Amino acid sequence: MQFYSLNHRSQKVNFKEAVIRGIAPDKGLYFPEKIEALKNDFFKNIDQFSRHEIAFQMIRQFAEEAIPETELRVIVEDTLNFDFPLVKIEKDVFSLELFHGPTMAFKDVGGRFMARCLSYFNRHSDEEVTVLVATSGDTGGAVASGFLGVKGVRVVILYPSGKVSEVQEKQLTTMGQNIRALEVDGTFDDCQAMVKNAFLDNTITDEVQLTSANSINVARWLPQMFYFAFAYKQLEKPRKNLVFSTPSGNFGNICAGIMAQQLGLPVSRFIASTNANRVVPNFMKDGNYEPMKSVATISNAMDVGDPSNFIRIREIYQNDFSKIKENLASFSFTDDQTREAMRKVFKESGYIMDPHGAVGYLGLKKYLATHQDAQGIFLETAHPVKFLEVVEPVIETSIDLPEQIRQVMGRSKKALNISSYEELKSYLLETQ
């Protein structure tokens, strides 16, 4: 499998090169040159396959020739060592819980998969690779956990000061070993811009081997296909028209779901549910894509004003706006609407949603109001405990700290404060 840059000015590369580079030399995201649907009966007979077999069959075409099948199976099995339960909330409404991994966020899947791929690629090399990543919340913790102690890999995480929860900050700033955190005076978009600039700065890349662990990296993005299939396997039967509502920030997660659909997963519609950062809901009105300055909300991991992965969604549909509208809807919700959804669902069912999952729930309910022949799944992307300061006042109930969280809360934060790209550049060059 070859991958090409979406800017179309760089040579095609294989999976290994795409993972190690992270982003193409022309600043474009990598995209697979072809997407082959799985055999017609694969998803029809999905109940016969284990979780590991489903994931292996979905990812194998993208990693072929770069990772032998036996090694790829090991990577998949080591990545997916926790559960992905589907919980019924109300009639035809289900929550897919993606927070049962080590950092209690959906990004554990991509972070663990990428770390194991990079470890395999680097197994015979003495050259250190620097994983440079920007986070709006959960990416940092997932990457830190996934790459902790990986030989020949240094991780540098940029996060916006004061714009991640206390739990999220603890998870990305207390690991130590090969993990470094940089606290940026700015927004997530500022962090992401610094990362992209570093990849294009020859004075850095001539001295430091950089790769990215954001969802711009194919090894972070593509494994997210897996749990859409896991959800379908668990869906209450008889299955009806399936709709996924994904709380969307950088749009890697929903793009992975659409990729799973391209492989043959029977999905009738995707809902991109956003907070006040409504670039894509605006786009879906007239096809005009206009980035905006991100605004802070209680669903902070979605506070993105220029979602990197939306260009991949447009590529899947050959930039045909009519095709995008046929398969994708997008709705925006306020913090007050999000709180009310959390309060209502807890009162009626006892189920606790985090603010991101609540946005996904709202998008799903809005769609189902006019499509009553569908079954809907919203993605609960992080454990509510990661947003105690938001969740507990809304539901007026205390949440017990899971073991994964108790382990980090007592540790001391270690982070370097920076406010400019030049400071990042100096850090990368001086600490290699």
CB 54 within 8 A of CB 37: no
On the question of pLDDT at 297 being above 80, the answer is yes
CB 188 within 8 A of CB 303: yes
- CATH code of the domain covering residue 333: 3.40.50.1100
* Average pLDDT over every residue of 11-23: 93
For 335, other C-beta atoms within 10 Å of its C-beta total: 16
Q: From CA 327, how far away is CA 317, in angstroms rounded?
A: 10
Q: From CA 230, how far away is CA 49, in angstroms rounded?
A: 10
Residue corresponding to tokens 């400071």: 423
**In-domain check, residue 361:** yes
On the question of pLDDT at 196 being above 90, the answer is no
CB 164 within 8 A of CB 136: yes
The pTM score is 0.89
CB 274 within 8 A of CB 217: no
Per-residue model confidence (pLDDT) at position 301: 87
**In-domain check, residue 240:** yes
Domain of 286, in residue numbers: 83-102+221-400
Per-residue model confidence (pLDDT) at position 180: 94
pLDDT digits over 245-290, tens only?
Answer: 999 999 999 999 999 999 999 999 999 999 999 999 999 999 999 9
Q: For the chain, how far is it from start to end, CA to CA, in angstroms?
A: 32
**In-domain check, residue 170:** no
On the question of pLDDT at 421 being above 90, the answer is yes
**In-domain check, residue 358:** yes
**Longest CA–CA separation in the chain, Å:** 60
CB 421 within 8 A of CB 196: no
CB neighbour list of residue 393: distance below 8 Å, 6 or more residues apart: none
Q: Would you give the DSSP letter of residue 302?
A: G
**In-domain check, residue 209:** no
233 alpha carbon, distance to own chain's centre: 21
What amino acid positions are annotated as catalytic residues?
107
**In-domain check, residue 120:** no
CB neighbour list of residue 413: distance below 8 Å, 6 or more residues apart: 169, 170, 173, 174
Residues listed for the chain: 432
3: left (phi over 0), alpha (psi -120 to 50) or beta: beta
Q: From CA 27, how far away is CA 30, in angstroms rounded?
A: 9
**What is the total count of domains within the chain?**
1
Mean pLDDT of all residues belonging to the chain: 93
Query: Three-state DSSP class for 180?
Result: strand
CB 159 within 8 A of CB 238: no
Per-residue model confidence (pLDDT) at position 432: 67
**β-pair type (86-90, 30-32):** unpaired
* Average pLDDT over every residue of 285-299: 94
pLDDT digits over 39-78, tens only?
Answer: 989 999 999 999 999 999 999 999 999 999 999 999 999 9
pLDDT digits over 309-333, tens only?
Answer: 999 999 999 999 999 999 999 999 9
On the question of pLDDT at 236 being above 90, the answer is no
**In-domain check, residue 325:** yes
Q: pLDDT exceeding 90 applies to what percent of the chain?
A: 75
Q: Read out DSSP for 217-285?
A: SHHHHGGGGHHHHHHHHHSPSSP-EEEEEEE-SSSHHHHHHHHHHHTT---SEEEEEESS--HHHHHHH
**In-domain check, residue 162:** no
